[in-house]
């Protein structure tokens, strides 16, 4: 290193040798969506808030989470977590426990009493929200953050909708539910209980008082099985039974119950019935692997002593002395192209019978569109476009009244989407420019890219195999003797360990790997980001190959 400089060099460095002329492609520093974010019903910045939690900045993690979802503690308990099925770590050593991490951050926010900031600017426009379930509360939260005066009309005496009346406390603690709702209301939402515009005149008056209306009245009409006599005292609608059970007064229906249905509501009714002392059998059209209910719900129900007769259908029910005889047959279930569509074919020679004291049907619900006379219908739903807008230009709708998705976090996402669409419409009406989204989290020099990051873009050799945090739950005996939550959260050691498993797909973690591995010193750190120096980069792609988060890619250069 101390020898003479070769005479062919004109300087003491290699800077004069501009090897950039050799390349046919050049790397670039990008910010790209992770598969988990693409799958998330609220489009949350998952890699960002997990990264903040990894640094023990739990308040920062909560703030990043709540930008998209004001219910992290609720979602962390009941979300169907499609983000985990999409997680790139599935192809390495198992999906990240995103849902449990969200619960951990949400629970920390409740225990610490963290509140939402009031809007910096108050606007003069008013927005009415009809329905205080997850979609309506989500829209109320986002609109208040944007400065709008929000009046929420709720037909019942409590907020929460399905989260309160349809989900049992052993899945969602009422203390958690109340805390996260109260935090939204504290932003200045004007709540009107026991009010619902159920007539054309009431709708007209509501719309005249407000600049925009968001309808989130849910689905109240229970679907009924043809041929089953609902006038019989031994036939009960599942939603009504579950609402009564959640209120602490389950109807008396005899010892043996058959719950018909394969979704989460059917599982909730069945498990609540077990806690009320019944012997329970679930009769599901779908085979176990096809059931809409989350797999862990089915597993937990079986652990609690609930019998499952899957891929089966009720043919008829008749009184048999003091009991009810259900004549059933095995079926082949084929799902259709859309949720709620399917075909079934009875399997020859597979009939069987079940004896019970009562039948509870839980096969889904439809909105009561007769109570919404001002809104156009699309089949059984309110007709909306991709931004949750109805054709009249002043009304939006979301949640179960406008979607067959029927998951709480889908409803939250629709409320968020409607709120931003309402904001855009009201700003346009006022002659104001479209609102610029909040600052983009990430290095300032990173180029946004639409394509999500595949596993192949992650340098997985930087991540030692590490098992996913083990699920913890009450044992079956303890569950049936209390109303305590079945699924338990992560402790801080488990949560921090789980955050280290995150690949941070498409989100730069400023690790400087690209700088270190570049043989031409052609990548430099600038203003918290990275810049590729085109004069020297010869396009070897080593920085792309070694990036542990997939935040570098290569683009062809035309010369």
Mean pLDDT by 10 residues, the chain (559 residues): 57 68 87 94 95 97 96 97 96 96 98 95 96 98 97 96 94 97 98 89 91 94 89 92 89 93 94 94 94 93 96 94 94 84 90 96 90 84 94 92 93 97 95 71 68 95 94 92 92 96 94 93 87 91 95 85
Per-residue pLDDT at 3: 62
**DSSP strands (E only) in 207-311:** 212-215, 221-222, 235-237, 256-260, 279-283, 307-309
Sign of CA dihedral 531, 536, 539, 545: negative
The answer to the question of residue 102 being in a domain is yes
Domain hosting residue 64, numbered range: 37-114+470-502
Query: According to the model, what pLDDT value does residue 375 have?
Result: 86
- Of the residues 483, 502, 521, which one is the last residue of a structural domain? 502
Of 429, 449, 481, which residue is a domain's last?
A: 429
Confirm whether 453 is domain-assigned. Answer: no
Give residue 444's pLDDT: 57
Identify whether residues 235 and 301 lie together within a single domain.
yes
Spell out where 156-255 has E strands.
Answer: 190-193, 212-215, 221-222, 235-237
In a domain, 440, yes or no: no
Tokens of 291: 């059931």
In terms of domains, do 234 and 337 share one?
Answer: yes
Going edge to edge, which strands form the sheet with 395-397? 190-193, 149-154, 126-130, 212-215, 395-397
**Residues 244 and 371 placed together within one structural domain of the fold:** no
355 lies in the same domain as 278: yes
Tokens of 468: 């996913």
| Same domain flag for 251 and 340 | yes
Residues 327 and 421 in one domain: no
* Residue 199 region by backbone torsions, left for phi larger than 0, else alpha for psi between -120 and 50, else beta: beta
Do 235 and 160 belong together in one domain? no
CA angle 499, 484, 84 (to 5 degrees): 30
Are residue 322 and residue 378 in the same domain, yes or no? no
**Strand ranges for 369-507 from DSSP E:** 377-378, 381-382, 395-397, 447-448, 472-473, 487-488
- 515: domain CATH number is 3.30.70.20
Q: Taking a C-beta distance cutoff of 8 angstroms, is the pair 352, 328 a contact?
A: yes
Between the CA of residue 182 and those of 16, 56, 58, 70, what are the distances in Å?
Answer: 64, 26, 20, 11
Of the candidates 380, 399, 429, which is a domain's last residue?
Answer: 429
* Tokens representing residue 447 in the block: 């180029």
Question: Do the domain assignments include residue 442?
Answer: no
DSSP notation for 80-92: --HHHHH-GGGGT
What CATH number did the domain enclosing 168 receive? 3.50.50.60
For 296, the token pair is 């862990």
Q: Could you tell me if residue 460 is inside a domain?
A: no
Half-sphere exposure for 42 (CA within 13 Å, toward CB): 30
Domain count for the chain, please give it.
4
**Is there a contact between 324 and 317 (Cβ–Cβ < 8 Å)?**
yes
Cα angle 352-353-357, degrees, rounded to a multiple of 5: 160
Confidence (pLDDT) at 438: 52
**Co-location of 245 and 305 in the same domain:** yes
What are the angstrom distances between the C-alpha of 53 and each of 48, 60, 105, 180, 185? Answer: 9, 8, 8, 20, 26
In a domain, 41, yes or no: yes
Q: What is the CATH number of the domain that holds 100?
A: 1.10.1060.10
- DSSP states along 326-340: EEEEEEEEEE-SSTT
Orientation of helix 174-185 relative to helix 134-145, angle to 10°: 30
- Would residue 444 count as lying in a domain? no
Asked if 281 and 329 sit in the same domain, the reply is yes
Distance in angstroms (rounded) separating the CA atoms of residues 398 and 396: 7
Residue 496 falls within a domain, yes or no? yes
Q: Are residues 256 and 324 in the same domain?
A: yes
Of 417, 415, 434, nearest in space to 140 by CA: 415
d(CA 535, CA 503): 31
Two tokens, residue 320: 């048999």
pLDDT at 439: 43
Same domain for 232 and 356?
yes
């Amino acid at each position: 290193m101390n020898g003479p400089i070769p005479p062919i060099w004109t300087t003491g460095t290699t800077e004069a040798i501009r090897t950039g002329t050799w390349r046919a492609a050049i790397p670039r520093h990008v910010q790209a969506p992770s598969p988990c974010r693409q799958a998330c019903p609220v489009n949350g910045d998952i890699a960002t808030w997990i990264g903040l939690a990894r640094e023990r900045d739990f308040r920062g993690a909560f703030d990043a989470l709540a930008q998209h979802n004001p219910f992290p503690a609720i979602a962390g308990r009941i979300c169907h977590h499609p983000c985990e099925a999409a997680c790139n770590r599935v192809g390495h050593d198992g999906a990240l426990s995103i849902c449990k991490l969200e619960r951990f951050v949400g629970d920390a926010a409740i225990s610490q009493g963290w509140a939402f900031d009031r809007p910096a600017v108050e606007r003069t426009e008013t927005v009415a929200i009809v329905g205080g379930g997850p979609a309506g509360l989500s829209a109320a939260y986002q609109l208040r953050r944007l400065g709008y005066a929000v009046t929420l009309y709720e037909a019942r005496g409590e907020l929460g909708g399905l989260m309160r009346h349809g989900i049992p406390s052993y899945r969602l603690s009422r203390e958690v539910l109340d805390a996260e709702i109260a935090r939204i209301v504290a932003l200045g939402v004007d709540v009107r209980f026991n009010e619902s515009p159920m007539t054309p005149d009431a709708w007209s008056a509501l719309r005249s008082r407000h600049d925009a209306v968001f309808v989130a009245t849910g689905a109240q009409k229970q679907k009924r099985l043809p041929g089953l006599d609902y006038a019989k005292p031994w036939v009960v609608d599942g939603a009504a039974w579950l609402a009564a059970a959640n209120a602490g007064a389950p109807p008396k229906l005899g010892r043996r119950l058959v719950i018909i249905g394969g979704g989460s509501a059917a599982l909730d009714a069945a498990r609540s019935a077990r806690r009320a002392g019944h012997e329970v059998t679930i009769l599901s059209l779908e085979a176990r692997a096809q059931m809409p209910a989350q797999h862990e719900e089915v597993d937990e129900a079986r652990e609690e002593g609930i019998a499952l007769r899957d891929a089966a259908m009720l043919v008829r029910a008749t009184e048999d002395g003091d009991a009810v005889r259900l004549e059933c047959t095995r079926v082949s279930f084929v799902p259709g192209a859309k949720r709620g569509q399917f075909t079934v074919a009875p399997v020859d020679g597979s009939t069987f019978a079940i004896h019970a004291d009562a039948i509870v049907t839980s096969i889904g619900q439809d909105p009561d569109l007769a109570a919404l006379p001002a809104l156009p219908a699309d089949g059984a739903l309110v007709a909306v476009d991709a931004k949750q807008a109805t054709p009249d230009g002043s009304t939006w709708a979301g949640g179960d009244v406008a979607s067959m998705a029927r998951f709480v976090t889908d409803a939250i996402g629709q409320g968020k989407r409607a709120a931003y669409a309402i904001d855009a419409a009201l700003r346009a009406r006022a002659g104001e420019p479209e609102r610029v989204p909040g600052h983009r989290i990430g290095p300032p020099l990173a180029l946004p890219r639409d394509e999500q990051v595949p596993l192949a873009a992650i340098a997985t050799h930087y991540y030692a195999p590490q098992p996913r945090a083990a699920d913890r739950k009450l044992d079956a005996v303890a569950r049936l003797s209390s109303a305590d939550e079945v699924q338990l959260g992560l402790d801080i050691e488990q949560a921090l360990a789980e955050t280290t498993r995150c690949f941070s797909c498409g989100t730069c973690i400023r690790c400087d790997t690209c700088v270190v591995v570049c043989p031409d010193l052609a990548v430099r750190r600038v203003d918290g980001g990275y810049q590729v120096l085109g004069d020297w980069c010869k396009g070897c792609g080593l920085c792309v190959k070694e990036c542990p988060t997939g935040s570098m890619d290569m683009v062809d250069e035309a010369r």
